[in-house]
Amino acid sequence: MALTVRLMTAAETPLILDYFHNATPEHLELLGVDPTRLPARAAWQSAYEQELALPVEQRKSLLVIWLLNGRAIGFSTSDRILRGERANMHLHIVEPDLRVQGLGTQCVKHSVDIYFEELKIRKLFCEPNAFNAAPNRTLQKAGFKFVKTHMTVPGPLNYHQAVTQWVIER
């Protein structure tokens, strides 16, 4: 089993669009995603292409792809980046049959290394939906520390919800 975690290319971003646009309403609810906030595919793809054309130091987000034996199985994104200080990350395994096998923990650990290296941050936060047990377990296993559970809008695709805030520091 060869696991590869690296920065995502513009050609690979349809993985993200497909993941969200093809998700069932129940899965989006589990993620705390409001389907009305999903950008149209063409606009979203164009935005990713523009973002990924910039040097890493100028990007407002960083995208990481997770590959198992060369096949894309998931991704992580970071946003709310304050270089040298902090960022927020999101994590998704796109193939349901690969969830709950420990792959997410390995992928998150590698993604964390990339975020700290590329963004030169000291703290990395993640705020999954408080009722979505899988990412909360994954973050704990990957070395994140529990901060609090609170109500917020964790990202541009989300609605106001209960989230569990986790942090990892270096």
129 contacts 166 by C-beta, under 8 angstroms = no
> Tens digit of pLDDT for each residue in 7-16?
999 999 999 9
Q: Does the pLDDT of residue 158 top 90, yes or no?
A: yes
Domain extents in the chain:
3-169
Asked if 127 and 88 touch (Cβ cutoff 8 Å), the reply is yes
Residue 163 confidence (pLDDT): 97
Backbone angles phi, psi at 29, to 5 degrees: -60, -45
**What is the pLDDT averaged over residues 94-106?**
85
Nearest C-alpha neighbor of 157 from the set 41, 25, 23, 33 = 33
The pLDDT tens digits for 123-142 are: 999 999 999 999 999 999 99
Angle at 110 between CA 68 and CA 96, to 5 degrees: 45
pLDDT tens for residues 53-76? 999 999 999 999 999 999 999 999
- Whether the Cβ atoms of residue 129 and residue 108 lie closer than 8 Å to each other: no
The upper half-sphere exposure of residue 75, i.e. CA atoms within 13 Å in the direction of its Cβ, equals: 21
Q: How confident is the model at residue 97 (pLDDT cuts 50, 70, 90)?
A: confident
For residues 95-104, give the mean pLDDT: 82
Residue 96, pLDDT score: 81
Can you give the pLDDT at residue 154? Answer: 86
In CATH, which superfamily holds the domain spanning 3-169? Gcn5-related N-acetyltransferase (GNAT) (3.40.630.30)
Query: Residues near 77 by Cβ (< 8 Å), separated by ≥ 6?
Result: 16, 61, 62, 63, 64, 89, 90
pLDDT of residue 102: 81
Question: What DSSP assignment string belongs to 76-132?
Answer: EEEEEEETTTEEEEEEEES-GGGTTSSHHHHHHHHHHHHHHHHH--SEEEE--BTT-
d(CA 94, CA 101) in angstroms, rounded, equals 13
Q: pLDDT tens, 15-47?
A: 999 999 999 999 999 999 999 999 999 999 999
CA dihedral 16, 19, 21, 26 (to 10 degrees): -140
